[in-house]
Amino acid sequence: MLDELAEYFSGRIGRLRDKVERAAAGPLLVRGAIVLFAALSLVLAFPAEVMRNVAAIVLAAIVALLPATFPRSRLPGLAVFACALGWVLGPLVYGESVSVPRLIGLSTALYLMHSMAALAAVLPYDAVVSPGVISGWLLRAGAVVAVSAVVSVAMLFLVRATIGPVFLVASLVGVAAAGVLAYLVARRVSG
């Protein structure tokens, strides 16, 4: 039994060594972007008081590395969940106020992290990737983020202008507008 276990681990280490030797610059760049966007998301999500703690910085680094290391798994979702937890923790526990620029920055970083994880999930480690593929991917993701931010801020101003009995209607209009926007983006991408 110990021989089988040793053989299993030596096989896993051999495969890891093979992946490291064959790794190409393009997929490594994509995975580096995942780490960058995940770390930025965590910094924007958690209160500054928490992020000054050394243990929190180490944990954030580990959480940022996991989606880049295993993009085909549920770990990108874990990073998003950690950010959501930090975002909720700020106002509830630390009394931080919620600001629109910080929220837009967080949602942008989360979307870009998740989008890059989707790209990394389909790229083999040894793939030769044209710079145009990565820049095109980021430009499309950036366009989605920009349109979403503009629509969200416009809906926020609309809701603030109609606070009162019309608040529910404005919220439903915002949800419907987001749904229509998602449909149009999906239709444009597939067609």
Give the tens place of pLDDT for each residue, 161-179: 766 555 667 667 777 888 8
pLDDT tens, residue by residue, 22-62: 778 888 999 999 999 999 999 999 998 888 889 999 999 99
Q: 80-126: per-residue pLDDT in tens?
A: 999 999 988 888 888 888 788 898 899 999 999 999 999 999 998 88
pLDDT at 140: 92
Backbone angles phi, psi at 52, to 5 degrees: -80, -15
State the pTM of this model: 0.76
Burial class (CB in 10 A: 0-12, 13-18, 19+), 114: buried
Instruction: For the chain, give the percent of residues with pLDDT over 90.
Output: 38
Q: How far apart are CA 110 and CA 40, in angstroms?
A: 8
d(CA 21, CA 67): 21
How much is the CA Rg of the chain, to the nearest whole Å?
A: 20
